[in-house]
Amino acid sequence: MDRAWWKEAVVYQIYPRSFNDSDGDGVGDIPGITEKVSYLDELGVDVVWLCPVYGSPNADNGYDISDYRSIMDEFGTMDDWEELLDALHDRDMRLIMDLVVNHTSNEHEWFQRSRRREGTYEDYYIWRDGDTDEDGDPTPPNNWKSFFGGPAWTYDEERGQWYLHLFDENQPDLNWRNSDVREAVKEMITSWLERGIDGFRMDALHHLSKAEGLPDGDPEESLPGSDYYTYGPNLHEYIREVYDDTLSNYDVMTVAEMGEMSAERAATYLGEDGAGLDMIFEFEHLGVDVGPNGPWDPDERSDWDLSEFKEIIDRKQRGLADEGWNALFLGNHDVPRIVSRFGDDGTGSGDGAYRRKSAKLIATFLLTMRGTPYVYQGEEIGMTNVDFESLDEIDDPATLGIVEELIAEGTVESYDEVRETVNQRSRDHARTPMQWSDAPNAGFTDEDADPWLKCNANYETVNVEAARADEDSILHHYRDLIDLRHDRDVLVYGDYELLLPNDEQLYVYTRTLVDETILVVLNWSDEPATVDTGDLDVAGADVVISNYDDTPANPDGKTFRPYEATVYRLA
Residues near 371 by beta carbon (within 8 Å), at least 6 away in sequence: 279, 317, 320, 325, 326, 327, 328
How far apart, in whole angstroms, are the C-alpha atoms of residue 57 and residue 147?
20
Taking the least distance from each CB to ligand TEU, the nearer of 295 and 562 is 295
Taking the least distance from each CB to ligand TEU, the nearer of 371 and 397 is 397
Alpha-carbon distances of 11 from 48, 143, 188, 480, 493, rounded to whole Å: 6, 39, 24, 15, 17
Taking the least distance from each CB to ligand TEU, the nearer of 291 and 557 is 291
Taking the least distance from each CB to ligand TEU, the nearer of 63 and 111 is 63
Min dist CB 80 to ligand TEU, Å, is: 23
CB atoms within 10 A of CB 299: 10
The angle at the Cα of 497, spanning 494 to 502, to the nearest 5 degrees, equals: 155
Nearest partner of 14 among 57, 61, 59, 56, judged by Cα: 61
- Site for ligand TEU contains 174 (CB under 6 A): no
The only residue of 203, 428, 526, 564 in contact with ligand TEU, by rule CB under 6 A: 203
DSSP state of 270: B
- Site for ligand TEU contains 60 (CB under 6 A): yes
- Site for ligand TEU contains 395 (CB under 6 A): no
**257 catalytic residue (yes or no):** yes
496 by DSSP, 3-state: which?
strand
Contacts with ligand TEU in 111-150 (CB under 6 A)? 147
Min dist CB 333 to ligand TEU, Å, is: 6
From the list 209-217, 257-265, 437-445, 531-539, the region that binds ligand TEU by CB under 6 A is: 257-265
Q: End-to-end CA distance of the chain, in Å?
A: 23
| Residue 454 and residue 432 in contact, taking contact as beta carbons nearer than 8 Å | yes
- Rg over CA atoms, the chain: 24
From the list 14-22, 31-39, 256-264, 499-507, the region that binds ligand TEU by CB under 6 A is: 256-264
Taking the least distance from each CB to ligand TEU, the nearer of 21 and 203 is 203
The only residue of 76, 141, 199, 259 in contact with ligand TEU, by rule CB under 6 A: 259
Min dist CB 60 to ligand TEU, Å, is: 5
Contacts with ligand TEU in 296-355 (CB under 6 A)? 333-334
- Site for ligand TEU contains 260 (CB under 6 A): yes
- Site for ligand TEU contains 63 (CB under 6 A): yes
How far apart, in whole angstroms, are the C-alpha atoms of residue 168 and residue 401?
9
Min dist CB 260 to ligand TEU, Å, is: 5
| Residue 71 and residue 53 in contact, taking contact as beta carbons nearer than 8 Å | yes
Pairing state between β 253-257 and 199-202: parallel
- Helices and strands, number each (H, E), in the chain: 16, 22
DSSP state of 215: -
CB atoms within 10 A of CB 467: 22
Min dist CB 475 to ligand TEU, Å, is: 26
How far apart, in whole angstroms, are the C-alpha atoms of residue 368 and residue 380?
15
- Site for ligand TEU contains 169 (CB under 6 A): no
Tell me, letter by letter, the H, E, C secondary structure of 297-322: CCCCCCCCCHHHHHHHHHHHHHHCCC
Min dist CB 177 to ligand TEU, Å, is: 20
- Site for ligand TEU contains 167 (CB under 6 A): yes
- Site for ligand TEU contains 25 (CB under 6 A): no
The only residue of 80, 169, 173, 257 in contact with ligand TEU, by rule CB under 6 A: 257
From the list 31-39, 181-189, 252-260, 367-375, the region that binds ligand TEU by CB under 6 A is: 252-260
The number of residues in the chain equals: 571
From the list 18-26, 255-263, 308-316, 340-348, the region that binds ligand TEU by CB under 6 A is: 255-263
**203 catalytic residue (yes or no):** yes
Taking the least distance from each CB to ligand TEU, the nearer of 207 and 511 is 207
Q: Residue 94 belongs to what H/E stretch? A: strand 94-99
Min dist CB 142 to ligand TEU, Å, is: 18
- Site for ligand TEU contains 276 (CB under 6 A): no
The only residue of 9, 87, 100, 403 in contact with ligand TEU, by rule CB under 6 A: 100
The only residue of 33, 37, 204, 335 in contact with ligand TEU, by rule CB under 6 A: 204
- Catalytic pick among 257, 282, 289, 564: 257
Nearest partner of 333 among 374, 367, 301, judged by Cα: 374
Taking the least distance from each CB to ligand TEU, the nearer of 170 and 510 is 170
Min dist CB 490 to ligand TEU, Å, is: 32
How far apart, in whole angstroms, are the C-alpha atoms of residue 287 and residue 285?
5
Min dist CB 199 to ligand TEU, Å, is: 16
The angle at the Cα of 18, spanning 421 to 385, to the nearest 5 degrees, equals: 25
For CA atoms 411, 416, 421, 425, give the dihedral sign.
positive
- Catalytic pick among 64, 203, 289, 503: 203
| Residue 343 and residue 355 in contact, taking contact as beta carbons nearer than 8 Å | yes
Min dist CB 422 to ligand TEU, Å, is: 17
Closest residue by beta carbon to ligand TEU:
259
Taking the least distance from each CB to ligand TEU, the nearer of 333 and 477 is 333
CB atoms within 10 A of CB 155: 15
How far apart, in whole angstroms, are the C-alpha atoms of residue 358 and residue 360?
5
Taking the least distance from each CB to ligand TEU, the nearer of 47 and 286 is 286
Nearest partner of 405 among 57, 150, 26, judged by Cα: 150
> Which residue numbers are catalytic?
203, 257
Binding-site ranges for ligand TEU (CB under 6 A): 60, 63, 100, 147, 167, 203-204, 257, 259-260, 333-334
